Structure 1
């Protein structure tokens, strides 16, 4: 065992993977970042999460918290510190079938959640990849395949169980610890470790799924028309698109999902998308919901997808904004652009109801570059579109800093987030790089000394 992990308490013996362990290679990194932590702890229960926090603080070790490891900032691993990997806390339990209420531990993956809910005819809109972990997505937002009909994942959370920096286990809901409950729905990274959620699913077995590939017009009209239709379409329709360069032009690959149990209902909602550009491929199927986030997605995260990512939220993508987004793909920066539909049920929620305040925008635009392209290339490609954005989303920002914080948590929301991060974590054990402007592999820092009592 490495010197940095001396005096491991008996309660954690056998649960820590260190560099000499054959499992270390598959646990050390995230999906986007290669890291070298001193150890990776795999707690089996909440008591071991509490013990891990106390141990790391006593040893003055940086802490990184991992549910799935897809986080683009690399914050779920670190160099030289302790990673608390929640993957063994992965149970899914339906609590009340009629209301759709279920309890899920933070280390579960959304593919497993979809599989567990399917026999009950229940679904939860939860990102777009089955390998994503529950904890990170369900504390940041959650823009899923049914986002316009069901809202963000955080909008369906009814209660959480959180281990705070002083080792206290707290249950928070609308009536008990309401400030903490507000915080973890959108800004959970600086509050503590959420170990479990109670979430209200919706009834749905099958969905209409359309796959299209369209030539994107260089003047931006294809992007404009995609966003314009989604903004006013029936809320049963949600869609995501990837815009990428093809020589001097661009292609748009679209996945449109209709919360309907029949193709008869799904096809008319998809049909207007066939008119936004020259269609190269198209098919529409009725599929079981778990097909969208299958267990086939599950894989280790070993730093295999390096890149730099940022994003912006847009109320509308008019001519100028749509042209800027398209030029980010076709210009010298050669960014890859993703578009995600919002609006619908997302915008039914009051801006002050959660720590995700962006309740009037209709489109999320995500921009990425990959090696050999650098972050500077992304900045150059994205600059024009960024100036037209109205907010940002924490889960698609790979360079967290105070400027990103201001976009993600604007105005009074940001002031409240800062205030509550200080209340629940006064020593900055889980303080995100969004505040410090000095991102580390973990995005967190640990300070010396014993755990302190929580301030009210």
Structure 2
């Protein structure tokens, strides 16, 4: 028989949702993972986050931290443990319009961040869906619609407010707690709970957006031409690709975003993509940045899209790489997506943050859905795994020791582990799969 939870301390003051509460069904899960936690804690401010952390330590149960958004990895829930849900910490404040410095609560979702910044003509390149939560993305990386122009979200974080495992509240930046500040940008999940970020936004109002459908052959030539163009294209252009089997062929669905409000500039940068293969459909528009991550995206996360996901990075896509990726997509066993990176991402030194992948230019993502599970994903991924050069934590469902080594290779992994142990010696926040 499971021991009953003790009563949360008086200073917590926030909501505690347990099984039987009518709200439990809407709070137990992430977008991809159904959970059955013993309780979900809903702190309303930093003081209550401190109380929640202390309560979690006392209970000795597994702990998950959730910023309120999609939670693709599934790490925002568990079975039988506690979940600290930060969705009430969703304030967005422009601290200084001149320097473009913005304070973003960890529970904010990027649709609301975009909406709050739009009157100032500002934006933060973030997730590619408005329902993505700020906290998880801004501690893991942040590959958004403006990634080649702006870089990763973490590259523009200037300070963080963190609740550590002992309940201490720390402000970390380049001068104060620099090791913590280094690790929280790319490996923040194992350190503590970041409750707020100070992020330097960029000036953006309208962007060019193209939706393109191209027939892609099994030889990989079309995919290779896409990658070759993106490796040399002006940085204003960022793209996301979905490879979808369609009968005997494969459709390459491309969303291209140009960080420039000029329709002419958008058409110019998109034009080479129309010639990479047999064009099936195409439309280019100019729209506000907020239209890319609209508030219409906001929804509860109830485990409605179960999935297991893995990924890898490529430094230059060879013809062999393209053929292997196409074979994976054509198998029909996994949804295959790609993101263009490079550009401003690679301006940052590899050791500047805990995200060390600063020479690659393509992210490859594969997901499987029920009834397929981990074995099916591994079998599907096997044909491309040895071609990959690193991985991204926010598109990895299973943070095994092997995945950790791909995400944080070599000296980066050693440094991440040392910082995690220094600030969280008992492993309260460390993923259970890595607690040895």
The two structures have a TM-score, normalised by structure 2, of 0.98
Cα distance, 1:80 vs. partner? Answer: 1.4
Q: How does 1:37-48 map to 2 (within 5 A)?
A: 37-48=37-48
The answer to whether the Cα contact below 8 Å between 1:163 and 1:193 also exists between their aligned partners in 2 is: yes
**Residue 12 of structure 1: SS of its match in structure 2?**
coil
Whole-angstrom CA distance in 1 between matches of 2:348 and 2:167:
32
Cα distance, 1:434 vs. partner? Answer: 5.4
- Residue 453 of structure 1 corresponds to none
Whole-angstrom CA distance in 1 between matches of 2:190 and 2:277:
43
Task: Say if 1:55 and 1:223 are closer, same or farther in 2 by CA, change over 3 A.
Answer: same
Whole-angstrom CA distance in 1 between matches of 2:369 and 2:131:
21
Whole-angstrom CA distance in 2 between matches of 1:220 and 1:68:
38
The answer to whether the Cα contact below 8 Å between 2:13 and 2:48 also exists between their aligned partners in 1 is: no
The answer to whether the Cα contact below 8 Å between 2:14 and 2:44 also exists between their aligned partners in 1 is: no
Higher RCO (Cα < 8 Å, 6 or more apart)? 1
Whole-angstrom CA distance in 2 between matches of 1:116 and 1:357:
31
Task: Say if 1:12 and 1:396 are closer, same or farther in 2 by CA, change over 3 A.
Answer: same
Whole-angstrom CA distance in 2 between matches of 1:14 and 1:150:
37
- Residue 280 of structure 2 corresponds to 280
Q: How does 1:236-275 map to 2 (within 5 A)?
A: 236-275=236-275
- Residue 218 of structure 1 corresponds to 218
Structure 2's unaligned 5+ residue stretches are none
- Residue 137 of structure 1 corresponds to 137
Whole-angstrom CA distance in 1 between matches of 2:144 and 2:341:
10
Cα distance, 1:81 vs. partner? Answer: 1.4
- Residue 378 of structure 1 corresponds to 377
Count of residues in correspondence between the two structures: 435
Tell me, yes or no, if structure 1 residue 228 matches structure 2 residue 204.
no
Whole-angstrom CA distance in 1 between matches of 2:151 and 2:361:
12
- Taking only aligned residues, the RMSD between alpha carbons, in angstroms, comes to 1.2
For residues 362-391 of structure 1, the C-alpha deviation after alignment (integer angstroms, 9 at most, x for no partner) is: 000001111222322222222121111100
Whole-angstrom CA distance in 2 between matches of 1:224 and 1:340:
13
- Residue 173 of structure 2 corresponds to 173
The answer to whether the Cα contact below 8 Å between 2:337 and 2:364 also exists between their aligned partners in 1 is: yes
Whole-angstrom CA distance in 2 between matches of 1:388 and 1:324:
9
The answer to whether the Cα contact below 8 Å between 1:123 and 1:289 also exists between their aligned partners in 2 is: yes
Cα distance, 1:69 vs. partner? Answer: 4.2
Whole-angstrom CA distance in 1 between matches of 2:149 and 2:14:
45
For residues 303-358 of structure 1, the C-alpha deviation after alignment (integer angstroms, 9 at most, x for no partner) is: 01111111010011111100000000112x52111110011100000000000000
The answer to whether the Cα contact below 8 Å between 2:32 and 2:72 also exists between their aligned partners in 1 is: yes
- Residue 318 of structure 2 corresponds to 318
Whole-angstrom CA distance in 2 between matches of 1:75 and 1:403:
17
Whole-angstrom CA distance in 2 between matches of 1:192 and 1:146:
28
**Residue 84 of structure 2: SS of its match in structure 1?**
strand
Tell me, yes or no, if structure 1 residue 107 matches structure 2 residue 103.
no
Whole-angstrom CA distance in 1 between matches of 2:241 and 2:361:
14
Whole-angstrom CA distance in 2 between matches of 1:220 and 1:433:
39
The answer to whether the Cα contact below 8 Å between 1:69 and 1:76 also exists between their aligned partners in 2 is: no
For residues 63-90 of structure 1, the C-alpha deviation after alignment (integer angstroms, 9 at most, x for no partner) is: 1100024223311111111110000000
Whole-angstrom CA distance in 1 between matches of 2:120 and 2:254:
29
